[in-house]
Amino acid sequence: MTISKIGVIGAGLMGNGIAHAAVIAGFDVTLVDAFAAALPKALATMTKNMERQVSKGVITEEAKTAALARLTTSTDWHALADADIVIEAVPEKLEIKESIYKELAGALKPDAILASNTSSISITKLAAMSGRADKFIGMHFFNPVPMMKLVEVIRGLATSDATYAAVRDLAEKLGKTPVDVQDAPGFIVNRLLCPMLNEAIFALAEGVGSVKDIDAAMKLGAAHPMGPLELADFVGLDTLLSIMQVLHNELGESKYRPAPLLVKYVEAGWYGRKSGRGFYDYSSNPPVPTR
């Protein structure tokens, strides 16, 4: 199974990054989003990030120009008709993904692979919704996609060997390192990482330390490049909450209960970096702790 044309659904942070990595690697990419306004914004972000890569000597100006020429954008699902694989990177809401899979049923060619960038939802469950369970797989990238080397490859119960082999090969061609993961809530990274971030929020709410001191303690004491609250803002507090809810609902253990303060921040629309405010206020440089 040869992959040469890639479709990406969702022009947000992750979809934009996946498309960026794919065009840099030499693939033709069609980026689709239901909201037309999201597409020029994604293109501007991609261009800015590639210019940064040029300035750092990671790619040449010619490579940047060639990569952007391999990208097309659309709001029409049928623009994905000739894609060999479509990678869905929309918000972690089951109803949104199910709706998109229904739309794709009549748009994709029969042998196209459908991959989800979900960070925590069951691949077997999504595969059953897709109508092409043998050609469905999890392909979980990490932010920022152009820089992060890991891709978690998650097989559902019905994922075929051919689909699995093609996706592992694609991950390597994108310059990533694929890691095989069982279809379990949170997979590997988020199963281990998100409870730590959640616990840091409990510690903050209980007054164990301030935002600044909790982050400094973990950077200096555990050699983490980012403190847990800074990282939570980077991941997105809404995304973190969704993952913790999945872990709590699926595994049923109290240690996965979302921190009430996390819930409150999401209710306030304080999602972290992407909204301009979370555990830090990003309207100033450097960002200032909000608690």
Give 265-286 pLDDT, tens digit per residue: 999 999 999 999 999 999 999 9
Rounded distance between C-alpha atoms, residue 79 and residue 86, angstroms = 11
Catalytic annotation present for 152: yes
**What was the pLDDT predicted at 93?**
87
Catalytic residue among 88, 140, 198, 242: 140
The predicted pLDDT at position 2 comes to 86
Q: Could you confirm whether 16 is annotated as catalytic?
A: no
State how far the Cα of 104 lies from the Cα of 86, in Å rounded to an integer: 10
| 106 vs 233 pLDDT, higher one | 233
Q: Is the pLDDT of residue 184 over 90?
A: yes
Q: Which of 112, 118, 114, 113 is nearest to 89 (CA)?
A: 118
Question: Tokens 């993961």 correspond to what residue?
Answer: 181
Q: Does the structure show a pLDDT above 90 at 92?
A: no
**Annotation: CATH topology of 189-289:** N-(1-d-carboxylethyl)-l-norvaline Dehydrogenase; domain 2 (1.10.1040)
| Domain 5-181 is found in CATH 3.40.50.150 | no
Question: Is the pLDDT assigned to residue 146 strictly greater than 80?
Answer: yes
Question: Which residue of the set 16, 20, 130, 152 is catalytic?
Answer: 152
Is residue 85 exposed (0-12), middle (13-18) or buried (19+ Cβ within 10 Å)?
buried
Nearest 5°: phi and psi at 88? -90, 125
Whether pLDDT at 44 is above 90: yes
Which tokens in the block code for residue 171? 């991950």
The pLDDT of 184-211, averaged and rounded, is 97
pLDDT at 135: 98
Rounded CA-CA distance 74/9 in Å is 10
Measured CA to CA, the distance from residue 190 to residue 256 in angstroms comes to 11
Is residue 34 within 8 Å of residue 112, measured between CB atoms? Answer: no
Q: Is the pLDDT of residue 211 over 80?
A: yes
Indicate which residue of 49, 116, 190, 198 is catalytic. 190
Write down the pLDDT at residue 106: 87
* Average pLDDT value over all residues in the chain: 96
Catalytic: which of 16, 116, 117, 119?
119
pLDDT digits (tens, 9 = 90+) for 76-88: 999 999 999 999 9
The verdict on whether 224 is a catalytic residue reads no
Summarised one tens digit per residue, pLDDT across range 46-72 is 999 999 999 999 999 999 999 999 999
User: CB 129: neighbour CB atoms within 10 A?
Assistant: 15
Asked if 137 and 152 count as a contact pair (C-beta separation under 8 A), the reply is no
Q: Distance (Å, rounded) from C-alpha 207 to C-alpha 203?
A: 6
Q: Where are the domains of the chain?
A: 5-181, 189-289
Q: Amino acid letter at 11?
A: A
Expressed in angstroms, the distance from the first to the final Cα of the chain is 52
Task: Tell whether the model's pLDDT for residue 1 goes beyond 80.
Answer: no
